[in-house]
A and B are shown apart, each in its own frame.
Chain A
Amino acid sequence: MTTPAPDASKPRIGGEVRGLVYRAGGANRIDGIDLALPKSSLTVVLGPNGAGKSLLLRLMHGLLEPAAGEILWDGKRLDERMRVRQAMVFQRPVLLRRSVGANIRFVLRLRGKATLEAVDSLLAEVGLEQLADQPARQLSGGEQQRLALARALALKPAVLFMDEPTASLDPAATASIESIVKRAHERGAKVIFVTHDLGQARRLADDIVFLNRGRLVEHTPAERFFDQPDSRQARQYLSGKLILD
């Protein structure tokens, strides 16, 4: 199996948010988050429903405009030049109404690098090389998500955002996504991974960002988070209790 060469010219990028606020429906859905994400770690964002995990991801990727605060990558404000070096995989993959191969070609062409070898190697990376000519939207859920991931990797992202990509996948498909993400991280991408699944967080995370009600509750190394979380809310969450405050 061929894998794309690591992008050594572009170091991992550390992200930072300061005083981040996002308002919707008259309420602060993200409420004054300060956070510094290390360059080299695989960060997992955890929290109950409505904690603002996906919103934080979208804000950090520039898909949403914050009401207040700033987002920095490598010390610079998030702009289009930075956004081009980021990629995101959504919970429900949005695939073009084209073949599997054409979905990859489309993204490579956007960046002006569509070669047959590049398409093949990306499809091989996610194990879809046999399905290149299939209509993308006829793939199974797991295959669709792998294709979405291959498309994100086609961008050679310095930062890879994953928004609950395995929420509706079976264990085998989940394992496959996780190993692809780990490889991408090993090759140099900063990964920020939102999940509901505590087991997945244990398997993947170097550090955990724990959110509740739009606020940052704690940001701790994964080992400490699972053994001795700093906050009461995290302890409640880890023990399977509902967090009502």
Chain B
Amino acid sequence: MQDFGEAFRLAFQLVLTADPDLLEIIVLSLRVSLTAVAFSCLIGLPLGAALAIARFPGRPALIILLNALMGLPPVVVGLLIYLMLSNAGPLGWFQLLYTPTAMIIAQTVLITPIVAALCREVVEQLYSEYAEQFRSLCMTRRQAMSALLWDARYSLLTVGLAGFGRAVAEVGAVIIVGGNIDHLTRVMTTAIALETSKGNLALALALGLVLLTIALSVNAAVMMLRMTASRYAYA
């Protein structure tokens, strides 16, 4: 129990003194996950919106597949991306394995289905309200898609947040393709796993605290935005 208390004390000290090693890990984590979220939104939002308004044979199957992909195990994604990026793999000549880029790719693959599937749901619900009006206005698919994405912007923020939450908290994919190399590919989750196994609870706890704080503050920010949105009847 003494050790535990000491670990907490040290953890707070690391956070409050802005320990350079700790900062480096946090910055890399955020860089990797935020970039992955940005790419996922670039791919997933139009994909989800298109799926929400298009009607074609096989659409229900595609929706089921997309929903199933939301539960992709990170280690499996890590393994697949590893196979693609390893020297023997089809993308081996890019030499991306064990780089932050590989981690961004893995997280993008992991959360794009989440963003697309949740976006599909949000946009489809909105479209059920707008469809007749849009048809009356003779709008093209593309015009409808961009109007729906804009009008669902506040709900889609939550979708982006869900993706970010998943990305920043996962360890399986980034540890396989990133390798948890100190000063290069070590992020919060991989560092926590490593430091805990080494018995260095202070650093692990400090990182855990930061992770929790990030999760809480992002959630609070989104909640405030949504409250503002509903006050203006935009949500």
Contact = CB atoms under 8 A, between A and B. Distances in A.
Nearest to A89: B136
Contacts of A86: 136
Interface residues of B, number: 17
B139 A98 contact: no
Interface string B205-235: 0000000000000000000000000001111
Interface residues on A, range: 20 to 34
Contacts of A83: 138
User: What DSSP secondary structure best describes chain B's contact surface?
Assistant: helix
A138 interface: yes
B46 to A, nearest CB: 19
Interface string A30-63: 0000000000000000000000000000000101
A117 B169 CA distance: 51
User: What DSSP secondary structure best describes chain A's contact surface?
Assistant: mixed
B1 interface: no
Contacts of A88: 136
Contacts of B59: none
A226 interface: no
Nearest to B140: A110
A96 B151 contact: yes
B130 interface: yes
B132 interface: yes
A135 B233 contact: yes
B119 to A, nearest CB: 16
Given A135-B233, A137-B234, A96 B132 contact: no
A63 B132 CA distance: 7
Given A63-B136, A87-B136, 20 more contacts: A61-B136, A63-B132, A80-B138, A83-B138, A84-B138, A96-B151, A97-B233, A97-B234, A98-B151, A98-B234, A110-B137, A110-B138, A110-B139, A110-B143, A135-B232, A135-B233, A135-B234, A136-B233, A137-B234, A138-B232
